[in-house]
Amino acid sequence: MTSEPTAEVVDLCRDLLRIDTTNTGDNDTSVGERRAAEYVAEKLAEVGVESALHESAPGRANVVARIPGADPSRGALLVHGHLDVVPADADEWSVHPFSGELRDGYLWGRGAIDMKDFDAMVLAVVRHWQRTGVRPPRDIVLAYTADEEAGSDYGARFLVENHRGLFDGCTEAIGEVGGFSYSVNDSQRLYLIETAEKGIDWLRLHAKGRPGHGSMVHDDNAVTALAEAVARIGRHRFPVVVTDTVRAFLEEVSDLLGVELDPDDPETAIAKLGPIANIIGATIRNTANPTRLSAGYKDNVIPGRPPPPSTAAACPASPSCWNGSCASWSARTSRSSTSSGSRPWRPPSTATWSRPCPRRCAPRIRARVRCRTCSPAAPTPRRSRSSASAASGSPRCGCPPI
């Protein structure tokens, strides 16, 4: 390898891409980050940087190192990236997702953008510092973590809860997402600053019907009810909720673009942001997307209770809006209920978004659906068909009907 960081970074990134660190969200099927963590530790050791591996579960490894700075009285800077990647189906790729192939001037592979490229850049810069005798002005703490793609329980959360001392003195941090930019014109570019993240709730939607034979006329098919509910979720659009920081951003961008900002129609201004419009557009409303679906156990049998699909929902504003919609979806599915995934709902990092669901939502939700936020222990009653129409109206939190 060459000693120049700009040349070495390609080789480092390629090596990391060729290490499969698939994270499925299940330890039994996840590959784990151990090999990649050992690779990072080895590359740091080659230039004299001592690091430590912290394994939260077999194969789920994190690497942390501290590089002393010139002024120890200054707060340390934490630079962190994750080593895991989401699953990749090789049949959907023009190159193998773990080949690290260079083609048409690009480096291809799962994690090339999220975020082994950043991991490699940090590693290349630190190695260059060590070779050339550069000492940073303050301590730099490097953290290469596991499990970011599935909640960070085995990564960042594990380190903070079990090895908090590793981050003593850190006053700022640089990590994922930063760097998205938008060119207003040839001489002006905007660099976006993230002020908060969406909360998340993984849910499962259950439906129950009458089992029967696939050749018969059947008007109580749980698979049909489940499919219809999932379709409603996929089509639903939550109302626009513009937070103070998003409003400030849109006002600034509108001035620069010479576009009049209509507070009741922020999407017009957002649509002019080109490739980042989709990212910004997701900050003005809650989102819910079906991500997994399964049903049945034999081709000619109508199941009474098919396995539930998973839906991933993100909530940038008040959770009351999401909870009300959760109730409406479930109430309109024949004898259905929602249940939470394996991880708890995590509110966004902005205090005004973290308030509990208003009590006015609870009576409606408790009456018809099991919803952890509003009524953790409430049973899901078996409802007759006559109650379906009453349950399908707008929830009392003010969300529109679905």
DSSP string, 185-240: ETTEEEE-------EEEEEEEEE----EETTS--S--HHHHHHHHHHHHHH--PPP
Last residue of a domain, one of 174, 207, 223: 174
Q: Cβ(51)–Cβ(40) under 8 Å?
A: yes
pLDDT for the residue 129: 96
Both 38 and 95 in a single domain?
A: yes
pLDDT for the residue 18: 97
Instruction: Tell me how many domains the chain contains.
Output: 3
pLDDT for the residue 322: 54
Indicate whether 169 belongs to any domain.
yes
Both 84 and 232 in a single domain?
A: no
Cα 60 from chain centroid?
A: 19
Which CATH number goes with the domain that contains 339? Answer: 3.30.70.360
Indicate whether 36 belongs to any domain.
yes
Indicate whether 111 belongs to any domain.
yes
Both 252 and 297 in a single domain?
A: no
Cα 178 from chain centroid?
A: 15
Alpha helices in 89-195 (DSSP H): 116-132, 156-162
Instruction: Output DSSP code: residue 375.
Output: B
Both 72 and 43 in a single domain?
A: yes
Q: Cβ(103)–Cβ(10) under 8 Å?
A: no
Last residue of a domain, one of 258, 284, 310: 284
* Rounded Cα–Cα distance for residues 14 and 393 (Å): 54
Indicate whether 188 belongs to any domain.
no
Both 158 and 17 in a single domain?
A: yes
Active-site residue set: 84, 148
Distances from the Cα of 34 to the Cα of 52, 54, 161, 211, angstroms: 12, 10, 20, 46
Both 259 and 340 in a single domain?
A: no
Indicate whether 96 belongs to any domain.
yes
Give the residue numbers spanning the domain of 250: 242-284
Both 232 and 150 in a single domain?
A: no
Which CATH number goes with the domain that contains 70? Answer: 3.40.630.10
* Rounded Cα–Cα distance for residues 382 and 369 (Å): 10
Both 213 and 246 in a single domain?
A: no
Both 115 and 254 in a single domain?
A: no
Q: Cβ(94)–Cβ(43) under 8 Å?
A: no
Both 250 and 210 in a single domain?
A: no
* Rounded Cα–Cα distance for residues 371 and 311 (Å): 14
Both 31 and 96 in a single domain?
A: yes
Cα dihedral sign for 28, 30, 32, 35? positive
* Rounded Cα–Cα distance for residues 201 and 316 (Å): 11
Both 153 and 78 in a single domain?
A: yes
Q: Cβ(337)–Cβ(370) under 8 Å?
A: yes
Indicate whether 191 belongs to any domain.
no
Indicate whether 184 belongs to any domain.
no
Would the pTM of this model clear 0.85, i.e. be above it?
no
Q: Tens of pLDDT along the chain (402 residues)?
A: 455 778 799 999 999 999 999 999 999 999 999 999 999 999 999 999 999 999 999 999 999 999 999 999 999 999 999 999 999 999 999 999 999 999 999 999 999 999 999 999 999 999 999 999 999 999 999 999 999 999 899 999 999 999 999 999 999 999 886 556 778 888 888 887 878 777 878 888 888 888 888 888 888 888 888 889 889 988 999 999 888 888 888 888 888 888 777 878 888 888 887 777 888 888 898 888 888 887 777 888 878 876 655 544 444 444 555 555 655 555 555 444 555 544 444 444 333 223 333 444 444 333 333 333 333 343 333 333 333 333 333 344 444 333
- The SS3 call for residue 170 is strand
Indicate whether 180 belongs to any domain.
no
